[in-house]
Structure 1
Amino acid sequence: MATHLDLEEQEQLDQIKHFWNKWGTPITGVAVIVMAGFAAWNGWQMWQQRQAVQASALADVVAVAVESGDQARVAQAFDAVKADYAGTLQAGHAALLVAQSSVKVGKLPEAKSALQWVVDHTKDEGYQATAKLRLAAVLMEEKDLEAAAAVLRGSFPAEFKGLAADRLGDVLQQQGKTSEAITAYQEAWKLLDPQVDYRALVGFKLNALGVATSESGMATLTETNK
């Protein structure tokens, strides 16, 4: 004879069976999706870590080649980085090293190519901004002042806007556009942190153009040059 407890347990089992018959498949499907998502996320993380390690190894090869001055080896290692690890931070760093090495040996077209690659491919705003500033410097060296100005008038993160404005002032000065150069230097003076030593250089440039500066961040024409 079934006890009250037996009947109660049987009723609970029947309820569970009914619930699972109705909702078992959707629940299982959701569980599979969730587990697959976790697996995919872990796989993506592992893949990214592996990419970073391998890219670092190749970037180190680039650095060693740059240090030794072996331009052929520099080009070979950098090509490998670009081919397989273009989206990594290490690739951007390697490209900046390549550009620096190319400038030292007077290979400005190679330097421009490496810097433009950083601008076009790296996702790091700091690397992009650094590449733009250096690209403008190379273009200035080549006397392509219009192209340099165009680069410097592009977008920059807030931390780099003061430096970009200062370099734009240099370009405008070389173009003989003194009033525009003053405006650019004034912008740089305003944007650069007073604690940054480089700001003093901007102040010297303004003073040389007859513009007085103050720690309030203002830069105005002196009476003798109005």
Structure 2
Amino acid sequence: MATSLDLQEQEQIDQLKAFWKQYGNLITWVLIVVLGAFAAWNGWNWWQREQGFKAGALYGELERAAQSGEADKAARAFNDLRERHGGTAYAAQGALLAAKVQADKGQADAARATLAWAADKADGDAYRDIARLRLAALLMDQKQYDEALKALDGVKGDEFKPLAADRRGDVLQLQGKAAEAKSAYQTAWAGMDPAIEYRQLVEAKLTALGAAPTPANAASAASGVAQ
């Protein structure tokens, strides 16, 4: 009986050896890949958390500088944030904040450069669109109307297009193109939800151009929004 069991065990051992000889390397490499991927995933998550923490710290520094009106200090913090963590939302938010401080302090060219970076490279379509809208306003103040219109052409998000159309109307009106400005304002007015107070300002601009929206226009726009 013992001999029979020994033979069975030996046969199983021989089968196991044969199996391992045929598939052992493959199994080993699969385990290495799986364990390596798991380690890499954990490492990536740790790195992401670490980068987020560092980016948040730099943004906090920028925010404090902005609150105290220190444009140069805010610019330095933003530059560090952009160079080290340019692909984060913190860098996008930091660009918008730094540009505001720079513009408030009369540093129009610096604000323009900051907004241009955000319009081109900020993480997230919404941040890029906001940067383009603010850049267009800055360029408009500098009387660089064609450049302002180019910036507005880059606005892609549907939620920002009415605002872009309104700003386009402002630029066109400053260029003396009243008919084109009226068309842009009409696009802006029709695209805005009636509940938005800003729509009343667009309506006032249309009224000043002798194109006040009629009740029929209002009903048509409301129907479009409902759809």
Q: By how many angstroms is 1:174 displaced? A: 1.1
2:12 matched residue in structure 1? 12
**Which secondary structure does the structure 2 equivalent of 1:179 belong to?**
helix
Aligned-pair identity (%): 45
Cα offsets for 1:78-124 (capped at 9, x unmatched) = 22212212111111111111111111121111110111111222121
Q: Does structure 1 retain, via aligned residues, the 8 Å contact 2:139–2:147?
A: yes
Greater CA drift, 201-210 or 171-180: 201-210
- The 5 Å alignment of 1:161-176 reads 161-176=161-176
1:156 is paired with a residue whose SS is coil
Q: In structure 2, how many angstroms separate the alpha carbons of the residues matched to 1:135 and 1:10? A: 80
Asked whether the equivalents of residues 166 and 202 of structure 1 are also in contact (C-alpha less than 8 Å), the reply is yes
Alignment partner of 1:214 is 2:218: yes
Instruction: Give the Cα separation in 1 of the matches to 2:121 and 2:102.
Output: 19
CA–CA distance in 2 between the matches of 1:190 and 1:4?
A: 91
- Could you tell me how far apart the structure 2 residues matched to 1:196 and 1:5 are? 86
Give the Cα–Cα distance (whole angstroms) in 1 for the partners of residues 194 and 13 of structure 2.
76
Work out the CA distance in 2 between the residues paired with 1:41 and 1:77.
30
Matched with 1:135 is: 135
Per-residue CA distance 1:187-223 (angstroms, 9 max, x = gap):
22232223322222222222332332414218xxxxx
Letter in 2 for 1:105: K
2:195 aligns to what SS in structure 1? coil
In the alignment, what sits opposite 2:28? 28
Question: Contact 1:194 / 1:215 at 8 angstroms: preserved in 2?
Answer: no
In the aligned structure 1, how far is the partner of 2:187 from the partner of 2:5?
85
Quote the offset at 1:150 in angstroms: 0.8
Letter in 1 for 2:65: A
Which position in structure 2 is the counterpart of 1:96? Answer: 96
Aligned pair count reads: 218
Return 5+ residue gaps in structure 1 as ranges: 219-226
In 2, the alpha carbon distance for the partners of 1:42 and 1:100 equals 38
Distance in 2, matches of 1:13 and 1:204, equals 91
| Distance in 2 between residues matched to 1:146 and 1:19, nearest whole Å | 74
Specify every segment of 5 or more residues in structure 2 that has no aligned partner in the other structure, as ranges. 223-227
Does residue 69 of structure 2 align to residue 65 of structure 1? no
2:133–2:155 Cα contact (<8 Å) kept: no
Q: Is the 8 A contact 1:162 1:191 kept in 2?
A: yes
Alpha-carbon distance, 1:6 to partner: 4.5
Specify the code of the residue in structure 2 equivalent to 1:172: L
Offset, 1:129: 0.9
Q: Which amino acid aligns with 2:170?
A: D
What is the TM-score normalised by the length of structure 1? 0.88
CA separation in 2, counterparts of 1:4 and 1:190?
A: 91
Mark the CA change 1:28 to 1:195 in structure 2 (over 3 Å): closer, same or farther: farther
Say which is worse superposed, 64-73 or 108-117, in terms of deviation: 64-73
Q: Which residue of 2 aligns with 1:84?
A: 84
Calculate the aligned-residue CA RMSD, in Å. 1.9
1:13: how far off? Answer: 3.1
